[in-house]
Structure 1
């Protein structure tokens, strides 16, 4: 139920209105979208082949397009579950991997043993893989957006490009001893 309340007049002869909108919005299930970043996961091919080779319930004698539809429908549900429970959120995974790398870097600084170096390098490799997955995610999302909206030569496009250029610019470098290098020639 929605309502309109007339608030008191203060400095003006106009009466401000307060709108209360209580809409019961029913949100349906989101449409299935294949994520290209899934391909880079080590278990992805196994999930696909296991699902594709499994028998179709209740009758495996289904033929033709109905068989294809049944397999694709089941695959959609399997990939949704797999994405939620195994692949998980790539951004959360990156944050966790970054914290792990920092922790292992500190451990290596305290005890520079071969074992600590191997664990640090494995953590860095894992982080790089996750960052690659994030890059694939954003490329796919950007391509989808440009497919819908087109690549227009707008002020917004140039503002975003310039923002990214300044964001990626290295303004200063902090050395191990705490000194700061901010000269463009030295950077």
Structure 2
């Protein structure tokens, strides 16, 4: 599931609407939360028809300020839990409709003088203890001074109130991928300022229910705020743990150590039947391979870092060392390449280059 959050600063401009459609086309979110739409329900109908979703909810603006929209597609089973001019909360159900968690799209109080009281309201949105909770949006506040560049420093009391609100809700910051700053005043002089106002926060229950999740900070094409894309993949636990089938990796044949490992096992087992020797070999090879995988990743990274430094100062004096490192890396990559080619069992030379995402996805799918 992918959730897009964006303070669009008004959906009245045609280029802002087109930017929204482009974001939907590029990122294919299952759910979209929009802030500062400045658009009532009647005007929002046009956006609703263009997005072609299953669910659409509008929190009306107050005068010419604010306005929230929550949209979701047919892959999301959701119902509105509660809302205000500052938030929209949805119950998100799993595929069987048995388990649920609370998703809140939140728009923080823009007036710093009123923000302290707004956090008291925010803590009231917290669900029951055993319910997962995730909040996404523009909080209009910072956690610390390092979330701001330029301009006057944020008042410590304001940040303290925000931190306490997150603690009261049992919420943890999901971090970011890309640039952490989500808003800029776009000034081209000494008054330039940028801040991290948009974020995703979750509680421990939500975190334990999703095996993988991350937040991407996207490019801002039409707004001072950069959109967030929150990607999440839920943990499925049917209570049954299947034993993985043992498979000999062809890349092991490139390792001189592999022959030595097998020889030691067979010598230790002694004059027993062939099945016992094979079973002992399986256990030992898997243990040896786990260690090799960790060592291989570290070795490739270390060699790459070393090569990068040498190439930054490339000259006739270090060209031999560079070539030697490249040879070492070629061998390491060949071993990695062979492993994924064997696992994927596809038409390697037609469908991809060495160790591409395609090979990884095929190989990983076989393990499930």
Aligned to 2:268: 55
Aligned to 1:176: none
Aligned to 1:128: 330
Q: Which blocks of at least 5 consecutive residues in structure 1 are unaligned?
A: 152-159, 168-187
Aligned match for 1:139, one of 329, 341, 356: 341
Distance in 2 (CA, whole Å) between partners of 1:95 and 1:140 is 23
Q: Which has the higher contact order (CA 8 A, sep 6+)?
A: 1
Listed as ranges, the matches of 1:158-169 within 5 Å are 161=351
Partner secondary structure for residue 55 of structure 1:
helix
Q: Give the C-alpha shift of residue 45 in structure 1.
A: 1.7
Aligned to 1:86: 292
Distance in 2 (CA, whole Å) between partners of 1:101 and 1:125 is 11
Distance in 2 (CA, whole Å) between partners of 1:35 and 1:105 is 34
Distance 1:32 1:101, change over 3 A: same
Aligned to 1:77: 283
TM-score (norm 1): 0.52
Q: Which has the higher strand share?
A: 2
Distance in 1 (CA, whole Å) between partners of 2:280 and 2:320 is 40
Q: Which blocks of at least 5 consecutive residues in structure 2 are unaligned?
A: 1-77, 93-99, 102-131, 133-208, 210-235, 357-368
TM-score (norm 2): 0.29
The answer to whether 1:38 aligns with 2:240 is no
Q: Which has the higher helix share?
A: 1
The answer to whether the 8 A contact 1:38-1:87 is kept is no
Q: Give the C-alpha shift of residue 5 in structure 1.
A: 9.0
Aligned to 1:8: 82
Distance in 2 (CA, whole Å) between partners of 1:9 and 1:108 is 61
CA RMSD of aligned residues (A): 3.9
